[in-house]
Structure 1
Amino acid sequence: MAVLPKARGGKPLGGGARAFSLISLVSVLAAWLLLTWALGPQVFPGPGETLAFLSQEARGPLWYHLGMTLLRVGLAFALALALGAGVGILVGLYRAAERLLEAWVALGLNLPRILPLVMAYLLLGINEQAAVLALVIILAPQVVVQVREGVRALDTKLLEMARAFRRPRTLVLRRVVLPQLLPYFVGAARSTLALAWKMVVLAELLGRTSGVGYQINFYFQMFEMRGILAYGLAMTLVLALVDKAFVLLGERLARWRRPVEGL
């Protein structure tokens, strides 16, 4: 029989957790309505006005611009995740590699995030290649740090036991190393995706002629708050669903870590 995870008091988390999630969502809507009431619907439209505008845009340019943004997010996310994971494993395994790349990782983490975008547009022109390159430079250091910590957290006793029993390296990698690293990969993917779409929207706002960021900039110039909120809401909902999928994947991959009761 499956065992439900327990809270600090020892009670299983089930319907209560869903109730708290619902309360959290209701509190967000209540805060939105409160802002609308305090500032007025002309200044800060409510959920109804925003959803009506979003429905209108869905019959027009919404899907094109949303698709362009998602394409850029997916490309930058995949490249940064692959590059960052590779470097993270390297610096986690070898002290010399960590010392060699330490300054680059520190620079990438502390560099103002708008700077690579502006420099790429100035040096390479206002085009897709410049935007994606700048985004990878911004995102990859985050992945490097998280994957490096995952490599350092590997259970060396399990690796020594596998060597003692002379298990094949491919088997050790598949059954010992990867199960321990996958939760870190999922965590890195979640944080990278969250940062990726924010930076893609900024890149579009600064120098692209399509995408959610471009539309937000357009409606900003038109002083149309409904358009700004509608496109921001559309992108947030899509990425929230993707993030939820990563959460479920992470929980599934981490099931082996949970203690089994009754043994």
Structure 2
Amino acid sequence: MSRTTKAAGPATLAAAARTPVWRRIADPRIAVLIVAFLAIWKVASMVIGGYNVPTISSVASQLWETASSTEGLQNLGITLLRVGIGLGVAFLIGTALGLFAGASKSAAGYLLPIVRFIQGIPSLSWVIIAVIWFSNVELRVFFVMLLVTLPGFTLQTYDSYRAIPAELRDMARSFRPSRWALFREITLPGVTPGLFTAWKVNLGLGIRMVLIAELVGATVGVGSQLLTAQQLFDMAAVVSWTLLLAICMLILQAVIDGIEAYALRYRAVPQQAAAKDATVSSPDLSAAKG
């Protein structure tokens, strides 16, 4: 007698990619972590005091007031708009530079050292430079966002392009396709996974940098509201704004995950085929023992 043993790796990955976002969020383990966090928060508030660690009820009340008010939504929307514009422009420029560097070794020799040099400059230094150079707050925020997130998009695109097998490109060129067809069928599918990775990393980085830039001179936005709360020693407002922004980031990450799963859905087909091909027969050792 024999039994079949199926390789679970590719099939498991494919199933995970098809799992809806709401099911991953509704994981019981997430609920356990949330309950444990709230319990620790409750104890800390009782032991340390509500001044440094505000009560859950006060934060919930402040969070609801912020999320339901026109002023709160405007400040949140302005911050997210700044993040979106900065990331969008950095994505377009970084992707173009990464593809150019990947396609030309001479271009890579000039571009990559500059990009890596920009990446090595501390983010706070860019904020200080922006404050000195620009009097307009929007220009400050955009400048900081662009310089901080551009290297990530550029280098990720470059690495993804270089990872495309040369044999695959040579085989495609043997059919004499147009440049657009070669880009659409070979280059774009090859760099797309790396671009999604860059978006996930730069989203959190971009939100943090916008907050820091808004702390310096901005009159609207989440950063300015956090500064006001700090000046008033209003810890409940600080926590509520932080939670609201964290919730928005989780939602945006879920949106990116959903778009990624849809854009890369073609990868599940070869993974399932590979899982079937990896099915092997092995002797039933339990029967042999009997």
TM-based fold match above 0.5: yes
CA distance in 2, matches of 1:133, 1:208: 14
Within-5 A mapping of 1:184-223:
184-223=194-233
Map 1:1-263 → 2, pairs under 5 A: 6=8, 18=24, 21-38=27-44, 39-57=48-66, 58-258=68-268, 259-261=271-273, 262=276
Measured after TM superposition, the shift of residue 42 of structure 1 is 3.5
Task: Using CA pairs under 8 Å that are at least 6 residues apart, name the structure with larger relative contact order, 1 or 2.
Answer: 2
Q: What per-residue deviation string (whole Å, max 9, x for no partner) do you get for residues 154-196 of structure 1?
A: 1322221211222333222212221121111111122111111
Report which stretch shifted further, 117-126 or 107-116: 117-126
Is the deviation greater in 225-234 or in 162-171? 162-171
Q: 1:161 to 1:102 in 2, by over 3 A?
A: closer
Give, in whole Å, the separation in 2 of the partners of 1:9 and 1:82.
34
Partners of 1:202 and 1:110 lie apart in 2 by 18
Q: CA deviation at 1:253?
A: 2.4
What's the CA shift for 1:19? 8.3
Instruction: Give CA-to-partner distance per residue, 1:82-132, whole Å, 9 cap, x none.
Output: 111111111222221222123321222111101111111112225211221
Q: Structure 2 CA distance, aligned partners of 1:203 and 1:34?
A: 32
Q: CA deviation at 1:202?
A: 0.8
Change in 2 beyond 3 A, CA 1:219/1:156? same
State whether residues 79 and 222 of structure 2, in contact with CA within 8 Å, keep that contact through their aligned partners in structure 1: yes
Separation in 2 of the partners of 1:73 and 1:10? Answer: 34
Distance, in Å, in 2 between the alignment partners of 1:188 and 1:36 is 37
Aligned in 2, Cα 1:220/1:53: closer, same or farther, shift over 3 Å? same
Is contact 1:121-1:131 (8 Å) kept? no
Task: Give the gaps of 5 or more residues in structure 2.
Answer: 1-6, 278-290
Aligned-residue offset at 1:255: 2.8
Residues in 2 aligned to 1:204 and 1:197: alpha-carbon distance in whole angstroms? 11
Please give the alpha-carbon distance, in whole angstroms, between the structure 2 residues aligned to 1:65 and 1:133.
Answer: 20
So what's the TM-score if we normalise by structure 2?
Answer: 0.80
Larger CA Rg, structure 1 vs 2: 2
- For the residues of structure 2 that align with 1:242 and 1:19, how far apart are their CA atoms? 13
1:8 to partner: Cα distance:
9.2
| Structure 1 length-normalised TM | 0.88
Identical aligned pairs, as a percentage?
Answer: 23
Change (3 A) 1:19 1:179: closer
> Which structure 1 segments of 5+ residues have no match?
none
- How far apart, CA to CA, are the structure 1 residues paired with 2:105 and 2:181? 25
Residues matched between the structures, number: 258
After superposition, the CA RMSD in angstroms is 2.6
Deviation string 1:191-212 (CA, Å, 9 cap, x unpaired) is 1111111100111112211100
Q: Which runs of 4+ in 1 moved over 6 A?
A: 8-12
Aligned CA distance change for structure 1 residues 7 and 176 (closer, same or farther; 3 Å): closer
CA–CA separation in structure 2 for the residues paired with 1:235 and 1:203: 15
The residue that corresponds to 2:3 in the other structure is: none
